Every structure is written in structure tokens, then in C-alpha cells.
């Protein structure tokens, strides 16, 4: 009898303990993210957060697909191919790659303009490009802006500069703006294009470019690359790469099953990998463990799914 009663109390206390654990976990999540983040950062001795979701090119891991994408960008610009298109699923690393590519352009030879928000009118786009190229006095009307753009580009090209225009999130470009960009690309000698234009975007960009009215532009795309999600082994290297760059000294380790679960749960999409790793690290930290387990990742996946349904 006694034993049974004791067992009942014990079970009850386990349930209570688990419930308290869950409450603690929820409480952790609801605290300000930066405070919690700082806690696990210092617990594991990271110099900075390993799985931030900002497109910081210092953290770029050149998986085979990222390497190929970068080579395509470099090749297209070096060989003056005119239009270059890079397509990739949401969170695959397009913006991070593009920042790395820009950092690698030799400033002694290249002028570049990076447009991050292309949901604009033709006039606004022309102004944005000129501003990015460092022009301060801008014409007002669309016609005058086009004339100014031609003058600016030709003057720079005569000075021996190469000009690269990169438009991120290009799936959001309006038809008229794409047409305007195509007209800019008409600037050419009989040998080569004078303005290199990189369009980067999510898979919808392909649908945009597939429109019949844009076949003239489509025909000018000579370099095109599809960025793929990470393969399972790349996901592992990617995680290790970010932990090392953040100053990790080998603590914590991710178990083999944890890594498998991260790859399966993320589909190899780096932003989702970051999200899962961040949450799994937090879970391991709450257990004060030096090992991120399969169960930490399951918890992270559950937490991410709760937020997204």
C-alpha cells in the first residue's frame, strides 16, 4: 500500500516537475530574445551569436551550390554578359551571397549599385540606381532621369569603370520597371554590354520572366543559376562553420541524430537551419548540457511549427 502511495506521489511530482519544466521553457521563450541569447552565448563561450539570421557575408559557407552561384556571378560580370539571373528558394542565401560578391569586386575598377527594395516605380528605380552610384543631384522627370543615367554611365565607362547593377528580390519588379531596366541594358558597344545587371530572386522570378511580353529581356539572359538547398553533409559543415566563426571552442557538440533532424526539419534551407540551431542551442543551454541532442532539435522544430501554423 505504502509503496503504491509513494509511487503515486512520485509520479505526481514527476508530472509537476515536467509541467514546471515546460513552464520554465515557455517563460524562457517569452523573455526578450536578446537577453536569453546573451545567456547561451556566454554559457558556451561564443564571441557572437552563431545563428543570426542577418545576411552577414562574413559567415558565408561556400557549399558546392553557393560556390557555383558565386562563380556564375563572377563569370557573367567578368565576361560582360549583360543579364545574369540568380534564383533560389526563400532563405537559401541569395542576399548573403550577393553581399559577398559585392565585397569581392575590385573597387578600383567597379562601380556598383545594389537595389534591395525593387517594389518601386520606374522613376524611383532610376533615382535609386543613380543614388547608389553616388550621384547627388538627380533630375526630376523620367525622361530627364533616363538622359542623366545614360550620361553618367557613358562618362564612367569612358573613364574605364565597369558598372554592375544588382537587384535583389527581383520577383517584385513591376513589368514597366523591368522594361526600363532592359532599356538601360541596351547600352553596349558592338563587342560587349556596358552595364552588367544581376537579377536575384525567389522562384517566382522565373514566372515573372516567363511572361510573353518579357521575351526580349529573356533572350538577353546569358547566365542563369538556380541556388539549391544544402545537402545533408553540407548542412553539417554549415553548422560547424558558423559555430567556429562565432568563436566556439568545440562546445556544445551536436549529436549525429540532432544533425540529421536539423537537416530533415529544415530541408537544407540555411535560414531555417539557423532558426532550428538557435532554438536547439537554447534548449541544450536550459539543460546546462554540452551536447545538443535529437530531443533539443525536436523541441526546436515543435516551437518553430507552433509559430508558423
Ligand X SMILES: Nc1ncnc2c1ncn2[C@@H]1O[C@H](COP(=O)(O)OP(=O)(O)OP(=O)(O)O)[C@@H](O)[C@H]1O
Which residues lie near ligand X (CB under 6 A)? 52-56, 59-61, 63, 66, 88, 90-96, 202, 270-271, 274
Q: H/E/C letters for each residue in 19-49? A: HHHHHHHHHHHHCCHHHHHHHHHHHCCCCCC
Please, which residue, 68 or 79, has the CB nearer to ligand X? 68
Please, which residue, 95 or 293, has the CB nearer to ligand X? 95
Q: Choosing among ligand X, Mg ion, none, which partner's interface includes residue 184 (Cβ < 5 to 8 Å by kind)?
A: none
Q: Choosing among Mg ion, ligand X, none, which partner's interface includes residue 60 (Cβ < 5 to 8 Å by kind)?
A: ligand X
Q: Torsion angle of alpha carbons 158, 143, 222, 84, nearest 10°?
A: 80
Please, which residue, 243 or 273, has the CB nearer to Mg ion? 273
Nearest distance from C-beta of residue 100 to Mg ion, angstroms: 13
Nearest distance from C-beta of residue 99 to ligand X, angstroms: 8
Please, which residue, 94 or 242, has the CB nearer to Mg ion? 94
Nearest distance from C-beta of residue 238 to ligand X, angstroms: 6
Q: Choosing among ligand X, Mg ion, none, which partner's interface includes residue 92 (Cβ < 5 to 8 Å by kind)?
A: ligand X
- Which among 250, 241, 254 is positioned nearest to 291, based on CA atoms? 254
- Which among 255, 242, 302 is positioned nearest to 276, based on CA atoms? 302
The alpha-carbon radius of gyration of the chain (Å, integer) is 25
Q: Choosing among ligand X, Mg ion, none, which partner's interface includes residue 96 (Cβ < 5 to 8 Å by kind)?
A: ligand X
Cell of residue 257, nine digits: 541524430
Nearest distance from C-beta of residue 307 to ligand X, angstroms: 16
Please, which residue, 56 or 155, has the CB nearer to ligand X? 56
Please, which residue, 166 or 195, has the CB nearer to ligand X? 166
Nearest distance from C-beta of residue 43 to ligand X, angstroms: 22
Please, which residue, 195 or 273, has the CB nearer to ligand X? 273
Please, which residue, 55 or 184, has the CB nearer to ligand X? 55
Residue nearest to ligand X (CB): 93
> What residue ranges bind Mg ion (CB under 5 A)?
94-95
Q: Choosing among Mg ion, ligand X, none, which partner's interface includes residue 216 (Cβ < 5 to 8 Å by kind)?
A: none
Nearest distance from C-beta of residue 190 to ligand X, angstroms: 36
Q: Choosing among ligand X, Mg ion, none, which partner's interface includes residue 274 (Cβ < 5 to 8 Å by kind)?
A: ligand X
Nearest distance from C-beta of residue 272 to ligand X, angstroms: 9
Q: Choosing among ligand X, Mg ion, none, which partner's interface includes residue 228 (Cβ < 5 to 8 Å by kind)?
A: none
- In this structure, how many other beta carbons lie within 10 angstroms of the beta carbon of residue 223? 18
Separation CA 303–CA 305 (nearest Å): 5
Q: Choosing among ligand X, Mg ion, none, which partner's interface includes residue 50 (Cβ < 5 to 8 Å by kind)?
A: none
Nearest distance from C-beta of residue 170 to ligand X, angstroms: 11
Amino acid at each position: 500500500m505504502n509503496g503504491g502511495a509513494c509511487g503515486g506521489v512520485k509520479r505526481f511530482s514527476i508530472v509537476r516537475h515536467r509541467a514546471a519544466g515546460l513552464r520554465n521553457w515557455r517563460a524562457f521563450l517569452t523573455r526578450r530574445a536578446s537577453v536569453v541569447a546573451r545567456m547561451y552565448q556566454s554559457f558556451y563561450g561564443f564571441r557572437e551569436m552563431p545563428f543570426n539570421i542577418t545576411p552577414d557575408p562574413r559567415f558565408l559557407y561556400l557549399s558546392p551550390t553557393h560556390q557555383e552561384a558565386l562563380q556564375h556571378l563572377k563569370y557573367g560580370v567578368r565576361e560582360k554578359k549583360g543579364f545574369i539571373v540568380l534564383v533560389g528558394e526563400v532563405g537559401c542565401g541569395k542576399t548573403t551571397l550577393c553581399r559577398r560578391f559585392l565585397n569581392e569586386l575590385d573597387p578600383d575598377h567597379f562601380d556598383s549599385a545594389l537595389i534591395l527594395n525593387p517594389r518601386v516605380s520606374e522613376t524611383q528605380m532610376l533615382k535609386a540606381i543613380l543614388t547608389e552610384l553616388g550621384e547627388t543631384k538627380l533630375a526630376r522627370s523620367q525622361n530627364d532621369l533616363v538622359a542623366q543615367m545614360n550620361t553618367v554611365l557613358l562618362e564612367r565607362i569612358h573613364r574605364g569603370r565597369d558598372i554592375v547593377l544588382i537587384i535583389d528580390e527581383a520577383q517584385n519588379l513591376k513589368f514597366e520597371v523591368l522594361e526600363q531596366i532592359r532599356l538601360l541594358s541596351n547600352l553596349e558597344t558592338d563587342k560587349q554590354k556596358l552595364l552588367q545587371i544581376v537579377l536575384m530572386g525567389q522562384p517566382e522570378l522565373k514566372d515573372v520572366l516567363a511572361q510573353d511580353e518579357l521575351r526580349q529581356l529573356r533572350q538577353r539572359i546569358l547566365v542563369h543559376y538556380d541556388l539549391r538547398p544544402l545537402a545533408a553533409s553540407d548542412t553539417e559543415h554549415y553548422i560547424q562553420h558558423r559555430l567556429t566563426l562565432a568563436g566556439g571552442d568545440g562546445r556544445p557538440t551536436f549529436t549525429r541524430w540532432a544533425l540529421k533532424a536539423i537537416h530533415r526539419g529544415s530541408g537544407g534551407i540555411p535560414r531555417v537551419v539557423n532558426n532550428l540551431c538557435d532554438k536547439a542551442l537554447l534548449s541544450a543551454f536550459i539543460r546546462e548540457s554540452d551536447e545538443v541532442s535529437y530531443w533539443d532539435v525536436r523541441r526546436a522544430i515543435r516551437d518553430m511549427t507552433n509559430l508558423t501554423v
